């Protein structure tokens, strides 16, 4: 069957062409969306086709939950008079808000199979949900919402709003309801693909996640890249973890990692792993600004840590100390681990040097140490102090070490 684009679908005539249009739309949804990766594009095209096919659709939403550390989910909003959909993220606290609790979405989440409201009928009763008054003021005459049922009981929510006098016909409602199983199948794979990407980005970073999704999952696979390397470690964490309550230790670590990580990511670095109270990050030298970007990250992180420590002092705690080791060189970037459990990370002598420099910060009492190789590549702008040569474990020759001069 040929799939027709929205601008080629004429509104149903009085001789009754809506059943044929319904068949074309359903065929497109099942067979014509195979090459479309994103559910928002499919949803918008579906709404456009429904409207062009004669459905009096004026507004539609698709709300779904995602496994993201920052966001609980997202909502796609389509309107007939807006060329681009609105996509809004909502955070985990939304479930406690009055806006959510007094909403059709909450009803669906709590097990309702359908929420229907005629908006052009005034029977003197107060609106069941506050949003109905808003929709009525927009000129909508009818509203319906259903769950989109995915496997293992996962429920998302779709809604449709009508602007025709008299609302949706029973034929309209019947067809929209018939679309739900196909839309569930089409949406589940796209949402799960997005979830997979989100989870990988959360746990291994954006660049590594792209490589893994592209098939880089074989042990030993990887590439050699030049990178500026940063290793950071919190001081006296063992003592803190023994003396502080568990929840306070977790809050402390999260605040510390926020302060150190956000500048790294903002300046183009990639955090490869958190190890206890430490982190490993790289700035690929494919970016000519990599070394300068790393130094900007350190400066911004120090400012953020100053704010964190000010709060610690206010609460009667000692300020947190940390050490940073910085080096530059070639690293092997790829999969390392056992046959069944892999880690996507970097290894190589350059990583070892950065680690040794971080350890050396404890001895020389300077929080940020870097190698001569990094300083030469970054350019000495009067911000480094030369500390001389130090023997580092595992290195045959003493290494010339510099310290970042701090204000």
User: Residue 46: how many CB atoms within 10 A of its CB?
Assistant: 24
pLDDT at 68: 64
- Do 394 and 352 meet the contact criterion of CB atoms below 8 Å apart? yes
What value does the mean pLDDT take over residues 375-401? 87
Q: Which two tokens stand for residue 75?
A: 């909502």
pLDDT at 6: 41
Of 229, 222, 208, the C-alpha closest to 285 is: 229
What value does the mean pLDDT take over residues 22-29? 87
Element (H, E) at 365: none
Cα gap 309→313, rounded to integer Å? 6
**Predicted structure pTM score:** 0.64
pLDDT at 96: 86
| Entry field: residues in the chain | 407
Please write the tens of the pLDDT for every residue from 108-167: 999 999 999 999 887 666 678 889 989 999 999 999 999 999 988 889 999 999 999 999
Please name the residues in contact with 362: beta carbons below 8 A apart, sequence gap of 6 or more: 235, 323
The angle subtended at Cα 97 by Cα 247 and Cα 94, nearest 5°, is 60
Element (H, E) at 139: none
Lowest mean pLDDT among 18-27, 44-53, 200-209, 394-403: 200-209
Q: Which two tokens stand for residue 51?
A: 């409207």
What single string gives the DSSP state of each residue in 145-209?
A: EEEEE-GGG-EEEEEEEE-STT---HHHHHHHHHHHHHHHHHHHHHHHHHHHHHHHHHHH-HHHH
Of 151, 148, 4, the C-alpha closest to 76 is: 148
If pLDDT is split at 50, 70 and 90, which confidence band does 16 have?
very low
If pLDDT is split at 50, 70 and 90, which confidence band does 5 have?
very low
Taking every pair of Cα atoms in the chain, the longest distance, rounded to a whole number of angstroms, is 91
Cα gap 212→208, rounded to integer Å? 6
Cα gap 42→33, rounded to integer Å? 7
Half-sphere exposure of 278 (CA within 13 A, CB side): 16
**No. of H helices and E strands in the chain?**
12, 14
For the stretch 264-269, contacts whose Cβ atoms lie closer than 8 Å and that sit 24 or more positions apart, written own/partner, are 264/230, 264/297, 264/301, 266/297, 266/300, 267/293, 267/294, 267/296, 267/297, 267/300, 268/293, 269/230, 269/293, 269/294, 269/297
Cα gap 144→108, rounded to integer Å? 11
What single string gives the DSSP state of each residue in 18-38?
A: HHHHHHHHHHHHHHS-TT---
Residue 257 pairs in a beta bridge with none
What value does the mean pLDDT take over residues 68-96? 82
Range 152-188 burial, b when 16+ CB lie within 10 A, else e:
eeebbbbbbbbbbeebbeeebbebbeebeebbbebbb
If pLDDT is split at 50, 70 and 90, which confidence band does 10 have?
very low
Cα gap 157→147, rounded to integer Å? 5
Query: 381: helix, coil or strand?
Result: coil
């Amino acid at each position: 069957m040929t799939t027709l684009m929205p601008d080629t679908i004429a509104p149903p005539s009085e001789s009754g062409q809506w059943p044929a249009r319904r068949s074309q739309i359903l065929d497109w949804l099942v067979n014509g969306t195979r090459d479309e990766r994103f559910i928002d594009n499919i949803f918008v095209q579906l709404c456009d086709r429904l409207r062009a096919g004669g459905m009096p659709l004026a507004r539609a939403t698709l709300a779904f939950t995602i496994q993201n550390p920052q966001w609980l989910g997202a909502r796609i909003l389509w309107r007939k008079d807006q060329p681009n959909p609105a996509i809004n993220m909502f955070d985990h606290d939304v479930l406690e808000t009055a806006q959510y609790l007094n909403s059709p979405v909450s009803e669906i989440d709590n097990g309702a199979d359908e929420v229907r409201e005629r908006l052009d009928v005034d029977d003197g009763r107060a609106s069941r949900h506050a949003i109905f008054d808003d929709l009525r003021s927009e000129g909508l005459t009818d509203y319906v919402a259903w769950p989109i049922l995915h496997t293992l009981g996962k429920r998302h929510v779709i809604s449709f709003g009508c602007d025709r006098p008299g609302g949706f016909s029973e034929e309209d409602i019947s067809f929209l309801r018939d679309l739900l199983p196909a839309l569930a199948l089409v949406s589940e794979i796209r949402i799960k693909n997005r979830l997979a990407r989100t989870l990988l980005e959360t746990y291994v970073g954006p660049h590594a996640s792209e490589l893994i999704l592209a098939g880089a999952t074989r042990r030993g696979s990887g590439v050699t890249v030049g990178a500026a390397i940063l290793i950071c470690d919190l001081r006296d964490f063992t003592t803190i973890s023994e003396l502080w309550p568990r929840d306070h230790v977790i809050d402390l670590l999260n605040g510390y990692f926020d302060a150190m990580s956000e500048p790294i990511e903002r300046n183009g670095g990639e955090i490869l792993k958190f190890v206890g109270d430490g982190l490993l990050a790289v700035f690929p030298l494919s970016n000519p600004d990599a070394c300068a970007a790393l130094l900007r990250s350190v400066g911004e992180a120090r400012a953020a840590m100053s704010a964190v420590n000010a709060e610690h002092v206010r609460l009667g705690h000692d300020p947190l100390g940390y050490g940073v080791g910085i080096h530059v060189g070639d690293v092997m970037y790829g999969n390392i681990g056992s046959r069944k459990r892999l880690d996507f990370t970097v290894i190589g002598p350059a990583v070892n040097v950065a680690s040794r420099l971080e350890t050396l910060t404890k001895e020389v009492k300077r929080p940020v140490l870097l190698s001569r190789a990094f300083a030469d590549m970054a350019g000495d702008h009067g911000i480094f102090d030369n500390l001389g040569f130090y023997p580092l474990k595992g290195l045959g020759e003493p290494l010339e070490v510099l310290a970042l001069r701090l204000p």
